[in-house]
């Protein structure tokens, strides 16, 4: 396993972690100042400053992306809505290309309208079918422009509003169905290539899964290519007080971070560990400088 204790070479910052404190251009400057080599920005943060301006700033600072957040939300109330979702995912892919992202992260969506409290239907299998079709259509364009798609399974507590893909196994089943191994592609090249369709593994969503080790191994030892495209870290607090915005700083909760990273690395993952903390009552209220410095210190000590 790689030694993270001496530096923060493999730390990436998901920029939602300090979204309440700073705009994205300031976040990039603060990361550059601290030697953080990669970020994963959100579309709204990019749009607020301007896509071209952010692309230029990334080039000037030498900061890379570990992913781009996010595409997805495929299910909709009607055909027009589903078409609009496909167009929006295309735009997200184009932005990801402009920013030179290694993958576009997909939060796939679920019951349309549920996020605003008014679900248009309640059939989650229908939502899963629409997700299947939406990813299939998006994958065609993503392949043309060479932008890998990373499905992020979300904790089942978010199954109604945000994602009807809730385990790593379910995400990998869909990957195998939509992006099957081609004949002749052997395991010898498995760790050297990224694939068209893979997964973003966020420990907050999957740490509890009894099949986690087994499925991480499956993702890495895919007969085609390694499907592990991104790795997101934070911690699970006890008690958790909010279903979305009460993530903990690494080391403050119950997730065995080093154990999970060991599984990731045994499966061939060599990318960044991306710190992604949504914290309404704690970290979003602290000075951004303190948040970043704490992320670096914890990354060295407990990730």
Q: Binding residues for Zn ion, per CB under 5 A?
A: 202, 232, 276
Cα Dmax for the chain? 53
Separation between Cα atoms, residue 104 and residue 87, nearest integer Å: 15
The residue number with the shortest CB distance to Zn ion is: 202
User: What dihedral angle (degrees, nearest 10) is formed by the CA atoms of 80, 86, 89, 93?
Assistant: -140
Minimum separation from the CB atom of position 144 to Zn ion (A): 26
Kindly list the distances between the CA atom of residue 282 and the CA atoms of 17, 206, 207, 241, in Å, as whole numbers in the listed order: 11, 23, 22, 12
Nearer to Zn ion, 138 or 158 (CB): 158
Nearer to Zn ion, 70 or 224 (CB): 70
Minimum separation from the CB atom of position 181 to Zn ion (A): 26
What are the b/e assignments for 266-300, b being 16+ CB within 10 Å? ebbbebbbbbbbbbeebbbeeebeebbebbbebbe
Minimum separation from the CB atom of position 205 to Zn ion (A): 7
Nearer to Zn ion, 169 or 202 (CB): 202
Separation between Cα atoms, residue 151 and residue 128, nearest integer Å: 13
Question: How do beta strands 226-233 and 194-202 pair?
Answer: parallel
Neighbours of 189 (CB within 10 A): 11
Nearer to Zn ion, 204 or 224 (CB): 204
Nearer to Zn ion, 224 or 299 (CB): 299
Q: Per DSSP, what are the bridge partners of residue 65?
A: 39
Nearer to Zn ion, 155 or 232 (CB): 232
Nearer to Zn ion, 202 or 235 (CB): 202
Separation between Cα atoms, residue 53 and residue 268, nearest integer Å: 35
Minimum separation from the CB atom of position 202 to Zn ion (A): 3
Q: Which residues are CB-neighbours of 188 under 8 A, at least 6 positions away?
A: none
The candidate with the shortest Cα–Cα distance to 127, out of 163, 169, 98, is 163
Minimum separation from the CB atom of position 215 to Zn ion (A): 17
Separation between Cα atoms, residue 289 and residue 166, nearest integer Å: 34
Minimum separation from the CB atom of position 292 to Zn ion (A): 18
Nearer to Zn ion, 107 or 175 (CB): 107
Q: At 106, list the tokens.
A: 């997909």
Minimum separation from the CB atom of position 281 to Zn ion (A): 20
Minimum separation from the CB atom of position 14 to Zn ion (A): 7
């Amino acid at each position: 396993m790689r030694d993270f204790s001496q530096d923060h070479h493999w730390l990436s910052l998901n920029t939602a972690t300090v979204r309440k404190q700073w705009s994205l251009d300031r976040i990039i400057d603060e990361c550059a100042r601290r030697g953080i080599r990669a970020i994963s920005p959100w579309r709204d943060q990019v749009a607020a400053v301007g896509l071209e301006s952010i692309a230029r700033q990334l080039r000037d600072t030498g900061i890379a992306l570990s992913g781009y957040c996010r595409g997805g939300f495929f299910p909709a109330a009607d055909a027009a809505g589903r078409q609009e979702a496909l167009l929006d995912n295309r735009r997200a892919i184009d932005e990801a290309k402009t920013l030179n992202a290694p993958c576009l992260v997909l939060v796939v969506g679920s019951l349309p309208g549920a996020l605003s409290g008014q679900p248009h239907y309640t059939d989650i299998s229908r939502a899963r079918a629409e997700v299947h079709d939406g990813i299939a259509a998006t994958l065609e364009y993503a392949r043309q422009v060479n932008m890998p798609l990373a499905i992020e399974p979300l904790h089942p507590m978010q199954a109604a509003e945000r994602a009807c893909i809730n385990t790593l196994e379910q995400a990998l089943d869909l990957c195998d169905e939509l992006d099957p191994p081609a004949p002749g592609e052997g395991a010898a090249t498995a760790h050297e290539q990224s694939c068209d369709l893979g997964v973003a593994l966020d420990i907050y969503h999957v740490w509890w899964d009894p099949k986690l080790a087994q499925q991480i191994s499956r993702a890495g030892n895919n007969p085609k290519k390694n499907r592990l495209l991104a790795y997101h870290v934070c911690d699970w607090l006890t008690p958790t007080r909010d279903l979305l915005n009460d993530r903990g700083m690494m080391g403050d909760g119950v997730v065995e971070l080093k154990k999970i990273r060991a599984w990731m690395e045994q499966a061939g993952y060599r990318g960044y560990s991306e710190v992604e903390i949504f914290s309404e009552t704690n970290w979003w209220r602290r000075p951004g400088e303190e948040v970043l410095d704490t992320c670096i210190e914890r990354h060295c000590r407990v990730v």
